[in-house]
Chains A and B, each alone.
Chain A
Amino acid sequence: KAGVTQTPRYLIKTRGQQVTLSCSPISGHRSVSWYQQTPGQGLQFLFEYFSETQRNKGNFPGRFSGRQFSNSRSEMNVSTLELGDSALYLCASSLQGAGNTEAFFGQGTRLTVV
């Protein structure tokens, strides 16, 4: 079966712009979570959605937001981009949420802010 698909794979944006990243989970998975990966901070949890409801949010500023659609696809948005937002953004899907069921990761979107 198809895995987790993240689009686009690479993005270059300018400071102050906003960006939207997309994640299509494995068919049948209703939980989608997002992580930011940077060399300095490692992998940090952004938020998790299940059936269109955000169930948990990490310690990130309000510039980071997300949503989930009825087909379980998810988007995350970062407004007013800063240089420090440059990172690999990873999406993970699971049946019921990490910890309860296995999380499968996409290949990530590499965001570069210049």
Chain B
Amino acid sequence: GDSVTQMEGPVTLSEEAFLTINCTYTATGYPSLFWYVQYPGEGLQLLLKATKADDKGSNKGFEATYRKETTSFHLEKGSVQVSDSAVYFCALSYSGDSSYKLIFGSGTRLLVRP
């Protein structure tokens, strides 16, 4: 079945460091890919998405490119801030599919130190 695998956390970085959080997926079809962020005590917020191969999603300085050949959707940010400390979830879903669900990775906690 479909699944999403993320790198284990926590990831601890100093402010202004470069961030990469790895995400790979296994899919039977051609899913849309998402990154969600969860701040302490909150629900999930959509950070960015990509709907087809080679698409790049971007938002708030974060970027991720849909790589079909490596089945990956790694999250990157050039310069992290303390306020980026949160848990990041990679997810997939299918448009036009009758499952109507998101399949999530296990989440990666990011801690940014001043």
Question: Could you list which residues of chain A lie within 8 angstroms of chain B, going by C-beta atoms?
Answer: 4, 6, 31, 33, 35, 42-43, 45, 48, 50, 55-56, 58, 90, 92, 97-100, 102-108
Q: Is the contact region of chain A dominated by helix, strand, or loop, or is it mixed? A: strand
Stretch at the interface among B10-18, B53-61, B72-80, B88-96: B88-96
Instruction: State which of B89, B97, B105 has its C-beta within 8 Å of the C-beta of A99.
Output: B97
Kindly state the separation between the CA atoms of A58 and B45 in the bound complex, as whole angstroms.
Answer: 22
Question: Could you list which residues of chain B lie within 8 angstroms of chain A, going by C-beta atoms?
Answer: 31-32, 36, 41-46, 49, 89, 93-107
* A88 smallest CB distance to B (angstroms): 9
Asked whether, in the complex, the Cβ of A56 is within 8 Å of the Cβ of B101, the reply is: yes
Chain A residue numbers with a CB within 8 Å of B44 are 90, 92, 105
- Give the number of residue pairs across the A-B interface with Cβ within 8 Å: 67
Chain B residue numbers with a CB within 8 Å of A6 are 43
CB closest chain-B residue, reference A100: B95
Asked whether, in the complex, the Cβ of A99 is within 8 Å of the Cβ of B32, the reply is: yes
Asked whether, in the complex, the Cβ of B104 is within 8 Å of the Cβ of A56, the reply is: no
Kindly state the separation between the CA atoms of A58 and B104 in the bound complex, as whole angstroms.
Answer: 13
Chain A residue numbers with a CB within 8 Å of B94 are 99
Q: What are the 10 A-B residue pairs with the smallest beta carbon separation, nearest first?
A: A99-B93, A97-B100, A105-B43, A43-B104, A105-B44, A45-B101, A48-B100, A42-B106, A107-B43, A99-B95
Asked whether, in the complex, the Cβ of B104 is within 8 Å of the Cβ of A31, the reply is: no
Give 27 CB contacts A-B under 8 Å. Answer: A4-B43, A33-B101, A35-B102, A42-B104, A42-B105, A43-B89, A55-B98, A56-B98, A56-B101, A58-B101, A90-B43, A90-B44, A92-B102, A98-B101, A99-B31, A99-B94, A99-B95, A99-B96, A99-B99, A99-B100, A100-B95, A100-B96, A102-B49, A103-B46, A103-B102, A106-B43, A107-B41
